[in-house]
Amino acid sequence: MNKVSTLAANGNGENIPTVIGIDLAKNVFALHAINRYGKPVLVKPQVRRDQLLDVLAQLPPCVIGMEACSGAHHWAREMIALGHTPKLMAPKFVIPYRIQGKRGKNDANDAAAICEAVTRPNMRFVPIKTVDAQSILTLHRVRQGFVEERTATINRIRGLMSEFGIVLPQRAEVIRKQAQLAAEKMPSWAASAVYDLLAHLVTLDMRVAEYDEHLKRMANRDERCKRLMALTGIAHITATALVASIGNGHDFKNGRQLAAWLGLVPGQYSSGGKVKLGHITKAGDRYLRTLLILGARAMLANAVRKNDRISRWAVALQARAGYGKALVAIAAKNARIAWALLAKGEAFEPA
């Protein structure tokens, strides 16, 4: 008799788990399950990695809560294949439920807190990514790593040359053009080091260009990305990142919720009927938020030369609220429109 049959044979379902909290780790996981009345019925403080799916396969379909961490999306897909309903949560949303019980920090208590948090009606969950979506995001992560390394290399070149009294502007294009000639004024060993950095910079430029080409081909093959790229301020990089991160947008009720999830809305500090709005929350995915802000910057730079409705709105907004607030407003607007295009499957109509 398997685990499900044993639990069902014990009576009126009081011993049948309906909600499970799992504290993920590298090798040893903790599992905490409750029944429909909220009573713990299955507590396993130590489950080896190779045993987890076997344990879950013996249980009836359950809601399984996990923290969104490394490997969480992989486990979620495996649990869906077993008939369960996994839900991922940001770790910071689980912490209050562990503190609430005034218990120590260990794997078993973390699993119990996750089990409690996943049952809350107002809990916000992380969309579960498919294998294809994670593959696209892998390209984004590697490309972004090359971009950051390229920026660090440029700064290193400027810093080393400034030690010899050669101060170059911060613009990357100027560094590429002038550093080679300026290095001739440096001692031979120092100049050799700068030449090596410049050669490494060329290599990084080539790798970034290769990944840009990969993402461009992916965007041109995906109808959802094509719809997003019709928006001013969203190109192939932002489009593929949005589609890979939120899919069809069905995990959000509306576009405003997506903008809030990206941290593009002002934080609220209200009390006693007095509404006070502060800076944007900067919650959620920093990479997506940065891409939308950069797209808004490009849109605003070209808006003065256009006469369409959105460009006129953007120019008027900048004059009224200032450059920084206009960028955030444009990024939030693009996020809301992007949700509508993905969720409703419609084409963008500027009018």
Domain boundaries, the chain: 3-117, 131-221, 247-344
**pLDDT at residue 272 above 90?**
no
Whole-angstrom Cα distance, residue 182 to residue 167? 9
Q: Read off the pLDDT of residues 62-80 as tens digits, 9 standing for 90 and up.
A: 999 999 998 999 999 999 9
pLDDT for residue 270: 83
Percent of the chain with pLDDT over 70: 95
Q: Read off the pLDDT of residues 136-189 as tens digits, 9 standing for 90 and up.
A: 999 999 999 999 999 999 999 999 999 999 999 888 888 988 999 999 989 999
**pLDDT at residue 19 above 50?**
yes
pLDDT for residue 3: 52
pLDDT for residue 8: 47
**pLDDT at residue 351 above 70?**
no
The domain defined by 3-117 folds into Nucleotidyltransferase; domain 5 (3.30.420)
pLDDT-derived band at 324, boundaries 50, 70, 90: very high
* Burial environment of residue 178 by CB neighbours within 10 A (0 to 12, 13 to 18, 19 or more): middle
Full-model pTM: 0.86
Q: Which of 47-61, 213-227, 277-291, 330-344 has the lowest mean pLDDT?
A: 277-291
**pLDDT at residue 86 above 80?**
yes
Whole-angstrom Cα distance, residue 45 to residue 301? 56
**What count of other Cβ atoms lies within 10 Å of the Cβ of residue 327?**
23
Span 303-318, average pLDDT:
92
Percent of the chain with pLDDT over 90: 74
